Amino acid sequence: MSTNQAKLQYLAGLISSCQKCPLFKAATHPVPGHGNPNADVVLVGEAPGYFEDQQGLPFVGNSGKLLNKLLDSIRLSRDEVFVANIIKHRPPNNRSPLPSEILSCAPYLKAQLSVIKPKYIITLGRFALNYFFPADSISRVHGQVKNIDQIGQKLTIIPVYHPSAGLRNGSMLKALQQDFLSIGKLLGKI
Ligand code: SF4
């Protein structure tokens, strides 16, 4: 087992016994995150939904299927990347996470990023964007390459719409597809 894998498993253990906010009470499984512990690319979403809560894995429902297609379009597989959410236990009825819940849970994502040290972070949706850039609006900055100093290193962040928005709205799906193509070019994948 690689060092990073062991560190991420340790964090997953902390998450599975966490009671820092009430969300653990109604959840079936914690969803700490999944993928390559040495990934160059980390994708960050909002919170687990129904299927994620059932399986303990991120992005395994319809949004996950669309995410896989978007990754395929730039020749990236789920095995190459690491996928996580800001919130590790499912909010009841998929409601938006509360600011207090984000505050409680955010240190876990920060710790995961400190272990993985990715070159690129793709944020999915407004909550993930606002985790890094609280004042930005996803409709204004999606697809832009943004830099930030965090976790003791320079991070390159590309915000895109959440895949669930792409499932609901044709123009957002188009924007997602275009933004992923730009990401593919940035990564030298296409
Ligand atoms: S959602 Fe996050 S902060 Fe809340 S109990 Fe789960 S791991 Fe802890």
Residue 1: pLDDT above 80? no
Average pLDDT along the chain = 97
Q: Which of 175, 156, 172 shows the shortest CA–CA distance to 164?
A: 172
Q: What is the DSSP letter of 27?
A: -
What local confidence, expressed as pLDDT, does residue 152 receive? 80
Q: How many distinct structural domains can be found in the chain? A: 1
Taking only the tens place, the pLDDT of each residue in 8-35 is 999 999 999 999 999 999 999 999 999 9
SS3 for 156?
strand
CATH of the domain at 156: 3.40.470.10
The answer to whether the CB of 15 is under 6 A from ligand 1 is: yes
Expressed in angstroms and rounded, the spacing between residue 178 Cα and the centre of ligand 1 is 34
Compute CA distances 105 → 20, 24, 45, 155, 168, whole Å: 8, 11, 13, 20, 27
* pLDDT score at 153: 83
State yes or no: pLDDT of 173 exceeds 90.
Answer: yes
Q: Which pTM value belongs to this model?
A: 0.97
Is the shortest distance between the CB of 104 and ligand 1 below 6 Å? yes
**Host domain of residue 25:** 3-186
Average pLDDT (30-41) is 98
Cβ of 151 closer than 6 Å to ligand 1, yes or no, is: no
| Mean pLDDT of the 104-111 span | 97
137 contact partners, CB below 8 Å, separation of at least 6: 126
